[in-house]
Structure 1
Amino acid sequence: MKELIFLTIILSHFLMATAQNKLDLNRINSELKASIEGTAQSLELDSSLFLNNPAAIQQERAEFIRNNPIQKPVHIQVRDIFIESTIDKYNIRLHCYQPKDYSAERVILYFHGGGYIFGQPEQVDGQMFQLATAAKATIISVDYRLSPQYPFPVPVTDGFDALQWIIRDGKKVLNIHPDAITVYGASAGGHLAAAVTQMAVDNNIKNIKHQFLLYPVIHNKLNTHSMEEFTDAPLWNKKYAEIAWAHFLGKDNVKKSIRYADLTHFDKFTYLPRTTIVACELDPLRDEGIDYAQKLYQAGVTTELWVVPGALHVFDLFPSALTDKFTRFLTDRILMD
């Protein structure tokens, strides 16, 4: 029986006493707020630099990751595999995490966040080490190409090429069984994960059994209640979203509804796999996640939605009880596969 499971939903539509767009910081989970305020590395973006010189942000974030490596556990093997792009023969890097001391029972294809503009697999090494261990999973994280240097559809096709490689060569190279893949992505990576899953349906590929979308970007309309409500939200807001879409789609296409860019443009929802969506109460992207969950549910897809109360975009990058709860939730859902 198909079902939509709502774990915790607090819709700010009904909680807001006024129509003001300024976020009341007291609504943020207190422990999470303290953790964010105490971090050494600011995740805020310079919107002018984001718009006019994204390469500088890419370099800055890459240098931070390089200068602050996460220590690898002795029981996790990490390796890079390069595969050839089907559109231009570019070497796509797959950053792979695999437990050494037991056979990895699950396969996760992962897409990092970064607004399509910055980021790399290593930025979440800590989370991937933990997930690979807890879920007994091999994780293949795609170092997809970034915009604006490589606009849509290149990041999506990089991800789809990774999926096809897992199905074709994963058993031979990594000794994995690619018949029950979880596709997992965060933020812009959540969008890429969902787009790759849609492409799999279009190509009659049935190896994806679960998609886990963490505060995902769903479409380029920028017209939801939460997008208007949190125009000044920290860590991600409407201005950042406008710039990200312009870089990702190009100025001529930024308002167009294009298949795999606007995920609501899809017409085969009923064939999508079991889906888990995590949205944040105080995130401009909240309602995109909620609306997508409803759309999948109405199409008969088994869908689980958790709207995390008091949470901001990328809350899971900061130590807190809320992050610990999310980590357990993620592991539990992966173990269901």
Structure 2
Amino acid sequence: MDDPQTWVHYGAIDPELAEIFRQDNTPKFAKDNKISSIPTTRTAWNPIYKELAANALANAQKNGVKGQEIYIPRRDGSLARCLLYQPEQSPPSASPLVVFFHGGGFCFGCPEMESINCINVVQTYRAVAISVEYRLSPESRFPGAIHDSWDALHWIAENASQLSSDPSTGFIIGGTSAGGNISAVVSHLARDEKLSPALTGVYLNIPTVLAPEVVPEKYRSMYLSRQQNKDAPVLTKANMDMYKEAYAPDPRSELWSPFNWPSGHAKLPPHYLQVCGLDLLRDEALIYERVLRRDYNIPTKVDIYPGLPHVFYANFPQHSRSKEYAKDTTQGIGWLLEAQRLSDQ
């Protein structure tokens, strides 16, 4: 991983995935690239997410996890529907706080997409976990998702004790794809705005953090996956173009490309990243991790999935590594919590 020249090899298709394609299996969450189709796609997908979340919670309730909807105010007076997961019984030690932002290209998705991760961290670490809703595009364009997510995080920080959590034992944010972008941006806002309590860890799952229009010259030779994987399964260049048209971000803004944050990345908390080798977004995540670790001495942990595409675990659940992905996520959150504990000693 330390040699960027080897990163292209991560893009060689995984043999098991190739066999799945030979059997004519298509991604579970296939879509077209028309903005006009977004409402219909949401209508088709959201019930699937909600059923999976309801089933996961029903099983988790047998093991001491409770879940409920909460409504968090935003700056314009509207309310964000969020999902709160907590231990049924108060644990003997304080509960850390973990906040998730779902993926979906800023156009699709709902808080239920992160329910399994929420439940896993509650069961494993007796944490309090929240999955945040933000308004979607094209109805809410850039930087609406960032504003909604920052408002939610600010409220969560102010009300952490009322949520039965103690962020001094761990305060982690994270997300998938678009949610990874949100998490990277919000982590910088939290640092610059001196959010209290402060974040102790950041989880970035297949994030977009650096638009191709604004890649610094010194990193262009490393930034190859946008071209190498432009026709990869699940997330293609055509998909990204549709998402960008709907969300309408400014590529020059740090709220879209947090890699280029004007004040840099010093004093950010430890980061855990998950990166897929056959993913359009692979190299920007690897470059970002490299800069955090080498230039800013920020502790990082990375799990790489060679030959597998963006959100492969949801689209190809029959793949053997799909079952490992959620376990890796939970262990990565545990690493962030341990990094916090060691820094306090």
Same fold (TM over 0.5): yes
Structure 1 residue 331 displacement after superposition:
2.2
**CA distance in structure 1 between the aligned counterparts of 2:22 and 2:102, rounded to whole angstroms:** 20
Match of residue 162 from structure 1: 152
Instruction: Tell me the distance in 2 between the aligned counterparts of 1:102 and 1:274.
Output: 27
Higher mean displacement: 218-227 or 35-44: 35-44
Structure 2 CA distance for aligned equivalents of residues 210 and 306 of structure 1 = 16
How far apart in 1 are the matches of 2:333 and 2:18? 25
Give CA-to-partner distance per residue, 1:173-232, whole Å, 9 cap, x none: x21113331111011111111111111011022621110101111123277311111111
Contact 1:185–1:212 (Cα < 8 Å) also in 2: yes
Aligned counterparts of 1:261 and 1:244: Cα–Cα separation in 2: 13
Who is 1:284 aligned against? 280
Give the Cα–Cα distance (whole angstroms) in 2 for the partners of residues 12 and 169 of structure 1.
42
SS across alignment from 1:166: helix
Question: Distance between the aligned counterparts of 2:128 and 2:2, measured in 1?
Answer: 28
Query: For 1:268-320, what per-residue CA distance to the aligned partner results, in whole angstroms no more than 9, with x for missing partners?
Result: 30121101111111111100100111121212211222322232111232254
Structure 2 residue aligned with 1:19: none
Secondary structure at the residue paired with 2:194? Answer: coil
Letter in 1 for 2:333: I
Residues 271, 67 of structure 1: alpha-carbon distance in 2 compared, 3 angstrom cutoff? closer
Picking from 190, 207, 211, the partner of 1:216 is: 207
* Distance in 2 separating the partners of 1:66 and 1:123: 8
- Cα separation, partners in 2 of 1:89 and 1:36, compared to 1, 3 Å: farther
The equivalent position to 2:291 in structure 1, one of 286, 291, 295, is 295
Alignment equivalent of 1:80, drawn from 56, 69, 76? 69
Q: Which amino acid aligns with 1:98?
A: Q
Q: Is the alpha carbon distance of 1:69 and 1:263 closer, same or farther for their aligned partners in structure 2, counting shifts above 3 Å?
A: closer
Q: Work out the CA distance in 2 between the residues paired with 1:84 and 1:261.
A: 23
Matches within 5 A, 1:305-320: 305-317=302-314, 318-320=317-319
Post-superposition Cα deviations, 1:120-139, rounded to whole Å, max 9, x if no partner, equal 01134334323321232211
Q: Is the 8 A contact 2:17 2:308 kept in 1?
A: no
* Aligned equivalent of 1:93, options 81, 84, 90: 81
Partners of 1:131 and 1:289 in 2: how far apart?
A: 24
**Residues 240 and 40 of structure 1: CA distance in aligned 2, closer, same or farther (over 3 Å):** closer
- The DSSP-based 3-state class of the residue aligned with 1:272 is coil
Asked if the contact 1:156/1:192 (under 8 Å) is kept, the reply is: yes
- Structure 2: distance between partners of 1:125 and 1:36: 32
Is 1:176 the counterpart of 2:175 in the alignment? no
Q: Which runs of 5+ in 1 are unaligned?
A: 1-5, 17-22
Conservation of the 8 A alpha-carbon contact between 2:101 and 2:114: no
Distance 2:15 2:117 in 1: 21
**Contact map agreement 2:272 2:333 (CA 8 A) in 1:** no
**In structure 1, what is the Cα distance between the partners aligned to 2:81 and 2:6?**
39
Deviates more, 1:182-191 or 1:214-223: 214-223
Aligned-partner SS, 2:54: coil
Task: Find the counterpart in structure 2 of residue 44 from structure 1.
Answer: 30
Is 1:265 equivalent to 2:260 in the alignment?
yes
Higher helix share: 2
1:246 corresponds in structure 2 to 245
Distance 1:130 1:33, change over 3 A: farther
Which residue of 2 is the match for residue 28 of structure 1? 14
* Mapped pair 1:54 → 2:38: yes
On the 8 A contact 2:95/2:164 being kept in 1, the answer is no
Please, what TM-score do these two structures have when normalized by structure 1? 0.84
User: Within 1, Cα distance between the matches of 2:141 and 2:193?
Assistant: 22
Normalising by structure 2, what TM-score?
0.82
2:322 alignment counterpart: 323
Cα drift, residue 333 of structure 1: 2.7
Distance 1:38 1:159 in 2: 39
d(CA) in 2 for partners of 1:32 and 1:135? 36
Q: Secondary structure at the match of 1:65?
A: helix
Q: Which moved more, 1:281-290 or 1:96-105?
A: 96-105
Deviates most, 187-196 or 198-207? 198-207
Structure-to-structure mapping, 1:56-71, within 5 angstroms? 56-66=40-50, 70-71=54-55
Report whether the alignment pairs 1:147 with 2:137: yes
Read off the aligned partner of 2:88 and give its amino acid letter.
K
